[in-house]
């Protein structure tokens, strides 16, 4: 465990310093943690290294975070919560399973390319959460995945999608889409919108009923 020195009195927040300064420090901690977890991995990043990155006393971190495990959990839970909220606001209101699936693909790719470092950490570091924190994350992830399974079930019931195991189909879809955060290059030849359109075509072909195939 990373041992920490006691915070200096000058580093402890006082009522007059709280507010904007505290929020700024918390944001700096979060941003540095995301960058370092993504680059080096959770286990390689000590709280001392994190403090050095943002230029504060190591013990001062305890004024803003409980420990490294809770910092990881807060980052992962926030990104998953934002993804769920984005689906509920932008995808759920769309009418029809085909249009809703297309909206989901567009939204999922846009989200994963815009916040690729956070998503990458989520893909790689879920295993390093404590059992209690991991259970909370899995429950939230299942909520999101179940939204997509329901789209597939509705599409199958109305004949829009081929009959198959909706859960297995969702595994194939998420396996394809989640990898975007691993390789997407903002300065590359393909934009997020181009990728979403291409993946939409792939998924359409996978789900298309045999009767519609030429």
102-161 pLDDT, tens digit per residue, is 999 999 999 999 999 999 999 899 999 999 999 999 999 999 999 999 999 999 999 999
Of 196, 213, 22, 3, which Cα lies nearest the Cα of 114?
196
pLDDT at residue 1 is higher than 70: no
| Cβ neighbours for 41, distance < 8 A, ≥ 6 positions apart | 124, 125
Angle value at C-alpha 80, between 176 and 82, nearest 5 degrees: 110
Average pLDDT on 72-87 reads: 96
Other CB atoms within 10 Å distance of the CB of residue 86: 15
pLDDT at residue 101 is higher than 80: yes
- 176-186 pLDDT, tens digit per residue, is 999 998 899 98
Q: How confident is the model at residue 62 (pLDDT cuts 50, 70, 90)?
A: confident
Query: What's the token pair of residue 151?
Result: 């789209």
Q: Name the fold adopted by 69-212.
A: Tetracycline Repressor; domain 2 (1.10.357)
Q: How confident is the model at residue 20 (pLDDT cuts 50, 70, 90)?
A: low
Q: What is the pLDDT of residue 21?
A: 59
Q: What does each C-alpha distance from 149 to 15, 97, 116, 143, 164 come to in angstroms? A: 49, 11, 24, 10, 11
- Domains of the chain, by residue range, sit at 12-65, 69-212
Q: How confident is the model at residue 211 (pLDDT cuts 50, 70, 90)?
A: low
For residues 166 and 152, the answer to whether their CB atoms sit within 8 Å is yes
Give the right CATH number for 12-65 from 1.10.10.60, 3.40.50.150, 3.30.70.260, 1.25.40.420.
Answer: 1.10.10.60
Task: Report which of residues 87 and 2 the model is more confident about.
Answer: 87
């Amino acid at each position: 465990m990373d041992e920490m020195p006691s915070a200096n009195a000058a580093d402890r927040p006082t009522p007059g310093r709280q507010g904007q300064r505290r929020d700024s420090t918390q944001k700096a901690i979060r941003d540095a943690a995301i960058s370092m977890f993504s680059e080096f991995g959770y286990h390689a990043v000590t709280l001392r290294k994190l403090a050095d990155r943002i230029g504060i006393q190591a013990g001062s971190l305890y004024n803003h975070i409980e420990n490294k495990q809770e910092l990881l959990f807060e980052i992962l839970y926030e990104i998953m919560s934002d993804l769920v909220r984005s689906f509920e606001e932008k995808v759920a209101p769309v009418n029809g399973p085909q249009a809703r699936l297309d909206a989901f693909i567009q939204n999922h790719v846009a989200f994963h390319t815009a916040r690729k470092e956070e998503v990458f950490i989520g893909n790689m570091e879920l295993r390093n959460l404590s059992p209690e924190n991991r259970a909370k994350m899995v429950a939230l992830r299942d909520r999101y995945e179940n939204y997509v399974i329901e789209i597939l079930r509705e599409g199958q019931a109305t004949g829009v999608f081929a009959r198959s195991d909706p859960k297995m189909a969702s595994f194939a879809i998420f396996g394809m889409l989640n990898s975007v955060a691993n390789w997407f290059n903002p300065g590359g030849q393909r934009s997020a919108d181009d990728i979403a359109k291409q993946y939409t075509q792939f998924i359409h072909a996978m789900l298309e009923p045999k009767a519609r195939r030429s």
